[in-house]
Structure 1
Amino acid sequence: MKRHLVIATAAAATLVAGGTVTAVAVSNNDGAGSARSGAQISAQPAARNSGAQGAGTEGAGAQGAGGQGGKSSIRMQDHDASDREDIREANAAKVTAPDAAAAALKAVPGTVAGLDLDADRPGLVWDADVLGKDGKWHEITLDAGTARVLNQHIEHEDDDSGQLRRELKAAKTDASAAARTAAASYGTVTSVELDDDHRAKAVWEVETVTKDGKEHKLLVDPQSGTLSVAAAHGADDDGADD
């Protein structure tokens, strides 16, 4: 986009090497000042700045305003040699799954399709998948200590996401309600996702961990809100629906 630059007399301080344009002085209040030619300034810095702003628009939109793009307030490594990552993350998180869902929807109004508590390079975060009211899929990264949005971007839509869209819109029990139902009896929720893979119908799949470190996989019916325990790890997924 071409920009028309009006340069005041102080613009002489910005002289740098490069292309030139003719400076135009702006009249002051008492009428003094007239169009003058011959003052040479560089148009290149303005062009570069304009280009940088244009190129950065997508990045700014992805991260949003308010200091996003930073680190989580809970510093934590992704790998745990003791293989107790879930209990370590659950104990450290200060933001619950329902609170993370609320923060995600404040950033991008729509419907939460999934939440995952994870230690990544930014630290301990909640990753939220949201089907926005704009019809697009958004991934939002939230600080697990403060619920502050650290990053957000639009996800590429899979070819088979149409079914998930329909199931999500038809669900009477949302991600927050599914998480609260599971947490009531099975500890801290570390993941919740509307899963329609290898199933006759979609179901909220919720993972929790209790204070003793025991992990649970639970299923919540998106229509009735009924809770059931999934089959043991490694068993056929079809058995989880029984």
Structure 2
Amino acid sequence: MKRHLIIATAAAAALIAGGTVTAVAANSDSSSASAQPSAQQTARHTAASTAQVRDGRSSIPMADDADGQGDLREANAAKVTAPAAAAAALKAVPGTVTALDLDADRPGLVWDAEVLGKDGKQHELTLDAGTARVLNQHLDRGDEDDRAQQRAAQNARTTAADAARTAAPHGTVTSVELDDDHGAKATWEVETITKNGKQHTFLVDPQSDKPSATPSQDNDNDGSDD
């Protein structure tokens, strides 16, 4: 009888000890799990920390173009000029700026820039039109037109910023692009808008930085150039 009691007591003690050890192990695993975030938590944190880099917003929000004066409002609201946008783009991606465009869309007012990098790749950047901060940046695989533009950019003796400065006395520059739609040779096509809303297009020689064609008027608003 005593022998059976001793065995039962020992078994109970072993069970209690085992249960205690199991409890301690469970608590230890729980503590470790709380100290180390799961892969899903890490992924969410990474996405949150990089979202602003991939899809930033401009410091200048823009309303919808309900009255047809969106281009003028954009030109008046922009704090970063075309040459300054070109400089900011080149700071992010060294190379040659082949196109600039002032635009208002979901991120707000931005400069869209295309840069032929020194790495030989075409980069597309979105810059805050208020601070010149890079809001978005990615590679563009490009097509045959892009490759022709790249060859023209490599042979140009003037830059997008030079072309913008040439046209700037005639209004706020809203777009600059190295384009071959106007003849056998590529030329800088620069769009401007005056304070009274008149839009003009200038063609600037990429070799001499001189206007190579008389500016064309893109609308029939009343008023004269500033």
TM-score above 0.5: yes
> Is 2:184 the partner of 1:200?
yes
1:75 corresponds to which residue?
Answer: 61
RMSD: 2.9
Aligned to 1:220: 204
Judged with a 3 Å threshold, the aligned counterparts in structure 2 of structure 1 residues 188 and 198 are, in CA distance, closer, same or farther, namely closer
* Alpha-carbon shift at residue 12 of structure 1 (Å): 5.6
User: Separation in 2 of the partners of 1:193 and 1:161?
Assistant: 11
Paired residue type of 2:200: H
1:21 is aligned to: none
Task: Tell me: CA distance 1:214–1:233, structure 2 relative to 1, closer, same or farther (3 Å).
Answer: closer
| Structure 1 gap ranges (5+) | 1-9, 17-40, 235-242
CA 1:87–1:124: 2 relative to 1, 3 Å: same
Residue 169 of structure 1 and its aligned partner are, at CA, apart by 0.5
Give a deviation string over 1:160-184, Cα, whole Å, max 9, x none.
3322111100101110000000002
Distance in 2 (CA, whole Å) between partners of 1:198 and 1:180 is 21
Structure 2 contact 199–218 (Cα < 8 Å) conserved: no
Cα 1:94–1:231 shift into 2, 3 Å: closer
Which has a greater percent of helix? Answer: 2
Partner of 2:9: none
The TM-score, its normalising length taken from structure 2, stands at 0.74
SS at match of 1:134: coil
Q: Which residue of 2 aligns with 1:15?
A: 33
Partner of 1:101: 86
Give the 3-state SS of the residue equivalent to 2:209 in structure 1: coil
> How far does residue 108 in structure 1 lie from its aligned partner after superposition?
0.8
- Given residue 15 of structure 1, which amino acid in structure 2 is its aligned partner? A
SS at the partner of 1:100? helix
* Aligned 8 A contact 1:113 1:129 in 2: yes
Percent identity, please: 60
Match of 2:139 in 1: 154
Contact 1:190 1:207 in 2 (8 A): yes
Give the Cα separation in 1 of the matches to 2:111 and 2:129.
6
User: Normalising by structure 1, what TM-score?
Assistant: 0.70
The Cα shift of 1:11 comes to 7.8
Shift of 1:224: 1.1
Structure 2 unpaired stretches of 5+: 1-27, 220-226
Give distance in 1, aligned partners of 2:193 and 2:200. Answer: 6
Computing the radius of gyration from Cα coordinates, the structure with the larger value is 2
Q: 1:233 to 1:67 in 2, by over 3 A?
A: closer
CA offset digits 1:112-146 (Å, max 9, x no partner): 00000011101000000001111111111011011
Query: Are 1:84 and 2:77 counterparts?
Result: no
Deviation at 1:206, TM superposition (A): 0.4
Alpha-carbon contact 2:200-2:216 (below 8 Å) kept: no
**Partner amino acid for 1:172?**
R
| Alpha-carbon distance between aligned partners in 1 of 2:133 and 2:62, rounded to the nearest angstrom | 17
CA 1:103–1:68: 2 relative to 1, 3 Å: farther
Name the SS of the counterpart of 2:144 in structure 1: coil
- How much does 1:99 deviate? 0.2
1:15-57 residue CA offsets vs partner (Å, 9 max, x unmatched): 27xxxxxxxxxxxxxxxxxxxxxxxx99x934x577x49x97x
Aligned to 2:38, the other structure's residue is in SS state helix
For the 8 Å contact 1:75–1:122, the answer to whether it is kept is yes
